[in-house]
Structure formats: C-alpha cells, structure tokens
Homo-oligomer: A and B are copies of this chain.
C-alpha cells in the first residue's frame, strides 16, 4: 500500500489528498506482464486505466493490418476509457503492455463521479485526452505524408529516446507490425540505412549510430 502511495504522488504530484484516498480506495492496482492486452479492440470496458509504471502501446486493427497509434506513459491515462464515460460502446483500438506495467484501474462509475468534483482530476483527464488527440493527429500526418523509410527512422529514434538506450531489441517482424508494413520492407530499409552508417544490425538488436540520436 505504501509503495502505491509513493507512485501515485510521483505521477500525480498535484492531486487533492481526498482524491488520492479515493484512488486507493476504489482503484484496483494491477501489475500486467509484458506483451499482454490491457484492452482489446471490439471489447467493452468498465474501468479507466491509469499508468503508474511501465509503458502501454495503443494500436488499431483494420482489414488485417495492425498499426501503432501512440504510446501511453506513466502518469497518464488511456483515452479509450474516457471515450466511454458517456457511451457504452465497443472500443475501436487495442492496448498492450510494452513491458511489465503497473496500472491503477478506476471504475467508470467513480470516474464519472470524480469528474467535475475534483478539478485536478478533470484536468488530468482532459489533458490526457488532448495529448492523445495530438499524438493521433501526428501519427496520421506521418502515415499520410512520409515514406516507410522516414517513418522507420523516426520510429527508431523515438524508441531509443523512450528507453534512453540506442540498442533496439526488436525483431523486424515487430517493427513492421508497428509501422503497418511487412517484414521484408523493414529488412531492406535497415540494410540501406546500414550502408549509410546510420545504424548497425546486430544479431538480436539494432544499434543506432550518432547521426540518428541528435
């Protein structure tokens, strides 16, 4: 119980004491292993996940293609559930953990109650909604306007920054899925990038070189 309190305070330094109490009273703390669904496209949910630690990947599936929308970091909550404060509808995208992730699941009924009642809560929700909207807009622009090569470079550098390490331990398969393309394409582009010395393809990981980390 103590550790949750600490984490909550770290992630949300500005929330009211009473709200924090309610969080701990009504929220269910879950630790989800890496690579597992938090929410699956097409399902119904009854809780709002707030991320205390770890990383969650939001992505959409459409017509067999699966592509990354954006990431959600500690201290933020998933838009998907806000989407469902009002409508009880099937969600239109999925969320998976990228690594071992601690989430606090707040029941929707309570969320509705708190919303408006606690100004700091309202702020958190709205800001996250906004952030997600902007992330999505950005992803859309990227998808529409840039070649796979550019998007891959962008993806890798972001990934490196995110994990604060220039070694990307992912298979071409996984990367391809995130970018909504195929493995062969990723293979070809990494090879090309290797020729221009922007990265090195090791056995189990990709090493980004300086020009990409600026």
Contacts and interface: CB of A to CB of B under 8 A. Distances in A.
A29 to B, nearest CB: 27
> Which of A67, A92, A134, A144: most chain B CB closer than 10 A?
A144
Interface string A122-158: 1100110110111011011101111000000000000
Q: Main secondary structure on chain A at its contact with chain B?
A: helix
Contacts of A65: 144-145
B86 A137 contact: no
A139 B69 CA distance: 13
A62 B145 contact: yes
Contacts of A180: 144-145
A129 B180 CA distance: 27
A201 to B, nearest CB: 26
Contacts of A35: none
Contacts of A171: none
Nearest to A79: B133
A63 interface: yes
A70 B143 CA distance: 16
Nearest to A93: B137
Interface string A6-48: 0000000000000000000000000000000000000000000
Interface residues of A, number: 35
Interface in A75-105: 79, 82-83, 85-87, 92-93
A136 B134 contact: no
A138 to B, nearest CB: 8
B136 A137 contact: yes
Nearest to A65: B145
A83 B130 contact: yes
A44 to B, nearest CB: 16
7 contacts: A60-B140, A62-B145, A79-B133, A82-B130, A86-B123, A129-B129, A143-B144
Closest 10 CB pairs of A and B: A62-B141, A140-B140, A62-B145, A63-B145, A65-B145, A143-B144, A133-B133, A144-B180, A83-B130, A136-B136
